[in-house]
Chain A
Amino acid sequence: MSDALSADLLIQGSYLLTAFLFIMGLKRMSSPVTARSGIVWAGAGMLLAILVTFLYPGMTNYPLIIAAIVVGSLLAWWSGKRVAMTDMPQMIALYNGMGGGAAAAIAAVELYKGGEHGLVTMVLAVVGGLIGAVSFSGSAIAFGKLQGLIKRSFRFGGQQVFNLLLLVGSLVLGGMVALHFNASPAIITGFFVVALVLGVTMTLPIGGADMPVVISLYNALTGLAVAFEGFVLGNAAMIIAGTVVGSAGTLLTQLMAKAMNRSLGNVLFAGFGDTGGGTAAGEVTGSMKPIEAADVGVMMAFAGKVIIVPGYGMAVAQAQHKVWELTQLLIDRGVTVKFAIHPVAGRMPGHMNVLLAEAGVPYDLIADLDEINAEFETTDVALVIGANDVVNPVARNDKSSPIYGMPILNADKAKNCIVIKRGQGAGFSGIENALFYLDNTRMLYGDGQKAVAELIGAVKAIG
């Protein structure tokens, strides 16, 4: 009796400490100075919670639990250590989906077990299971898309109606289970199958450019699912951690959607480019004017101020290390160099920051859109590497464009704008970029890494 009581006290006390460590960890992660210690704090909290859970009264199946933890941990450790920084977004999607799947699995075990749960508990178990299952299969699709396993967006007529029917279907089945109307294993299985299919059909039509927002949304959803299942199990650590992630993730998702000037509903339910009339290629006048690397090298070497605008193309070309090498050369020559990062450059918010950090670029050289946009007018050279839609001036002045209203980096206002680009095609969204045709813009064609290497050579040649 007193043993069970003290065990319970130890468990609850440890969970309280875990919740504290999680919140402090996240808090520390929200400043670049303390960020590195933040994950260690959170990790210590996690370890404590896991260890103390082994003391839970009435636990069985210890060999199974330990085997599952060991196998799952080793696989995740192995994959997490060797993934390239460029592929980080899809790995986060994958791990996030696993969390959602785990929440759904908890719901499934509780529901199949049946028993005397109250109405609220049953409803939360079902809703958490639904959200978790959608997050699981949806994140898997997001992973497939970003990894290049799923190449195109699947759309068919009446897709939204179909998704709505699936949602209603899963709610009806879930309702039957929750209200004890019919909680037979067949109905429960049907509920989970429909929820999993919903996650797939919801995510398939969403374009790759919108994936950052979707991953962030699924991250928030998984948090919510975890919180709901925590309620079902009476586990305060899960409720707190899950809810904190749920609300923080929702805020993060909103910030990202806002940065693209689109509502969340628009991202989820309107295929990109399907909305506006689109920009016909004929509307952009002028021609793209090519330039040689040697000329750009001279231009940059004798510039007073250079702003570099990286995009996903830099990540694909793995050019970040070369870009930093070029930057150091220029700084040594007395040129002021800054990096301008659009909130949705890359495949995740802050994706470019991570890649530049990987290359060793100090974070105080990197500026957000709000900080730097006014500076373009006093800039001699804006160097755009693999970015496209985020510097497209049509977002500012063409009302018929699908990206109209999206805040962009004003690279077009720099005295000279150099665009490093692989070929002459349009960007991810398929919209023609008016920047490329401006009088002060020159195109440097070629693979990002090679082009920057040529620039380095050109600057060095000046001596």
Chain B
Amino acid sequence: MTGIVALYIFMLAAFTGYEVIARVPVILHTPLMSGSNFVHGIVLVGAMVALGAAVTPLEKTIGFIGVLLAAGNAVGGYVVTERMLEMFKSSGARGGGSKGVH
């Protein structure tokens, strides 16, 4: 990938991110922050590639830590976001509350 193509990707992705979030109600700020936290868990892919190419013990150690942390980011981000969004219901679905309220 040439530098200029990467710059194009960078620019378009920046606008996309801005537009996707621009008109979000406050109610979803936390889940969305959590969701975007999950999305940058894609760093796992890079950490795998880095560890996959590591040679010296030092590189392997850092690479291992990198993959470990990235996997935590991705899985943890998914679990908490999913738990949060699971709770959102409109009053139409009021009867079937997730937890016993009474």
Interface residues of A (CB under 8 A from B): 18, 22-23, 25-27, 29-33, 35-36, 38-40, 42-43, 46, 49-50, 53-54, 56, 58-62, 64-65, 67-73, 75-77, 79-81, 83, 85, 88-89, 91-92, 94-96, 98-99, 101-106, 108-110, 112-113, 120, 136, 185, 215-216, 219, 222-223, 226-227, 229-231, 233-249, 251-252, 255-256, 321, 324-325, 328, 341, 343, 348-351, 353-354, 357-360, 362-366, 368-369
Contact = CB atoms under 8 A, between A and B. Distances in A.
Contacts of B58: 112, 185
B33 A50 contact: no
A18 B42 contact: yes
A434 B93 CA distance: 40
Query: Which 10 A-B pairs have CB atoms at the shortest separation, nearest pair first?
Result: A105-B66, A72-B71, A80-B79, A362-B91, A76-B76, A360-B97, A59-B52, A247-B17, A102-B70, A349-B29
A236 B9 contact: yes
A95 B85 contact: no
B43 A106 contact: yes
B49 A358 contact: no
Interface residues of B, number: 89
Contacts, number: 394
Given A68-B68, A72-B67, A26 B45 contact: no
A239 B9 contact: yes
Contacts of A222: 37, 40, 43
Given A30-B28, A73-B72, 20 more contacts: A32-B90, A56-B48, A59-B49, A60-B52, A98-B70, A104-B66, A109-B51, A109-B62, A113-B55, A231-B6, A245-B36, A248-B36, A249-B17, A256-B29, A324-B101, A325-B101, A328-B101, A348-B29, A364-B90, A364-B91
A39 B78 contact: yes
A26 B38 CA distance: 10
Contacts of A325: 101-102
